[in-house]
Amino acid sequence: MKESTDQIRRCISLRPALMPDDEPFLQELYASTRDDLNGIIPDESQMRQLLMIQYNGQKATYSAEFPNATDQIVMLDGEPVGRLMLDHRRDSIHGVDIAIMKSERNRGVGTGVLEELFEECAKRGIYFSLNVAKNNPAMRLYERLGCRIVEDNGTHFLMIFRPDKLG
């Protein structure tokens, strides 16, 4: 039986990502988001090397482009299941990286995390933005929760959630 979002939300917590302790989890999480690479390299160790190169590239890019971002681990019943990296700006919050382990998807964890975030935006009178790869299945979730596509850069969409009072 599918758990309700309210039940799931009560089980979700966030804690700061701690390096190097959380590095193995973040690497595993990154690998779980890269279904687009399935079958591209049949050798498992070579695939792992490719994923680690890409993970390290992503990490360096995030550090350079979002030096003040908060990096948090999404916890479900005390166990790490995802990441929420946010860049807090004067008039908005930008979602740098939002990821849930493949094994924990479609249980309401992402919905719960985003609803809390959007409630914060509404209280503060600011908007939320994020860049989403066009082939990312989470786009349906973002749209269902009220995010709208405002820009197409070819490979990604810029999506924005505006609380009602922003117009």
Tokens at 155, concatenated? 């490979």
Do the beta carbons of residue 36 and residue 27 sit within 8 Å? no
Task: Look at residue 1 in the predicted model and tell me its pLDDT.
Answer: 37
Task: Give me the pLDDT at residue 166, please.
Answer: 55
The average confidence (pLDDT) of the chain is: 93
Kindly give the interhelix angle for 44-65 and 23-32, rounded to the nearest 10 degrees: 110
Eight-class DSSP state of 63 = H
DSSP string, 3-33: PPHHHHHHHEEEEE--TTTTHHHHHHHHHHT
Note whether 18 and 84 are within 8 A (CB).
no
The domains of the chain, with CATH numbers, are 5-166 (3.40.630.30)
The string of pLDDT tens digits covering residues 18-68 is 999 999 999 999 999 998 887 788 899 999 999 999 999 999 999 999 999
pLDDT in tens, 72-102: 999 999 999 999 999 999 999 999 999 999 9
Q: What is this structure's pTM?
A: 0.91
What pLDDT does residue 165 have?
Answer: 55
- Answer left, alpha or beta for residue 54, where phi above 0 means left and psi between -120 and 50 means alpha: alpha
Q: What is the pLDDT of residues 102-130, one digit of tens each?
A: 999 999 999 999 999 999 999 999 999 99
